[in-house]
Structure 1
């Protein structure tokens, strides 16, 4: 949707716009005894799964909605968005908070827990096809036919800037962070995080499942390219193509790309539950999996922040 660059100023504008309306991220230290594999570094967890709507995406959704309300550019038909679940939930929450109609398109394979949350938030839910790309096509057709404002799960500067406010809050609480690790689907959280952190010399590690690696493949190909999606975390990290914005930021020397297996994601999710009684979705566990599995190896004394970005999940599948 957008190839615009993203800057720290954009993130700061978003932070001012959503201040007092979103929940400030809670940061907690992760002791090495409880979460083995952290090596010689110090690990901090950003508990963003406690955000409105259950994920970081509430920040970007509210930033976009308020921007258009402030500028008189919000159509009567409201917002249309395609989502694997979390972006739709965030848009529905933001729409309810701002009095805006929201129509959400999801693949029919979306988790029932996410569909239920959408309906509870008052969204008009439309199930289309079997993958995110099908839902995206349907959302575009709807916007063209009705005049609704077409939002995007990740490829929009207002969405990404809002996402970046989480990292900015993280750094305010742990000002000497060396590295922030985030999971990547389409790249919105990575883009916002990179824009907020690179000016301060903070490294950003982008983590993806091995068989769900839109950003990693883009770096290999020299630009965004379509990939196959097959992962336990595909419901939230299942974008077939990363945004151009995320790709450009990922070419910065402060960025790194790491792949993890589904088994490593499941193990990290289970470890969080067993040692902290924290339940996150598989996509959120991917970032921690990079450290616990050794796919990302901290250097001596490295201060690492891991963003646990969402918890819209069914607790009955903890063993999967």
Structure 2
């Protein structure tokens, strides 16, 4: 028994940092990857920053839909800031080490922002459901106080599970290797490095992903089933097209984010490789935040007009 305890203590003291392998197997492309990641991050900051500004200052965009979009853009910035700056710094300096504590903090905030984004996407679907399926009571129900409560609820709901999950994961022993075959600290690659039986923590991870991602996704699905049923009953084709156009941008963002995220977290490791996992993680951590402003701008006349007015000021 004493020998086991000493071994555990030794294991804990050995792993003081992880090495993020990332795309280190492509040494000739490190400068190119640095440029790409930096460009993506700057695009995310500028694009989502513009969405935040115009939905705040333009009087025509003071509706619940744009209120939620403003908070969604802010979360997108926070979500990518947790991972991208370290990624392009690693490619620039070739120093891929990340301390035990820094890895835990990165994972915790990554999961919190990701969970908040899932819940907020569900709230945005509910907003579209109320606007299309219950238009007469929309302004009464979706008032400013209720919208603020919904956003606060998204933030609060997304905190407990990631905190507990991070604590459980970093309570494990990492004794075999500190080489993390990923682009940032994420749950699946960390569990692959852990020693001993991780079944309970894996079950907790699946349960956490179910509560934070699958349930919001099902809520979005139910909302859009009802929305589509209501749209089909509209008498004119123009009315149906206008109603659906208010939802199309949100649907595209939901498909990008949840599609890659669910595959990454729920597809068995025996089917997907580590390289595929890296690419999928880049899709839901960079592609969605980068394309979000573009999707909402190109498919929304109000946002286009607000951007034009803002540009000529």
Higher relative contact order (CA 8 A, sep 6+): 2
Q: TM range, normalised to the smaller chain?
A: under 0.3
Larger helix proportion, structure 1 or 2? Answer: 2
The TM-score, its normalising length taken from structure 1, stands at 0.27
The TM-score, its normalising length taken from structure 2, stands at 0.27
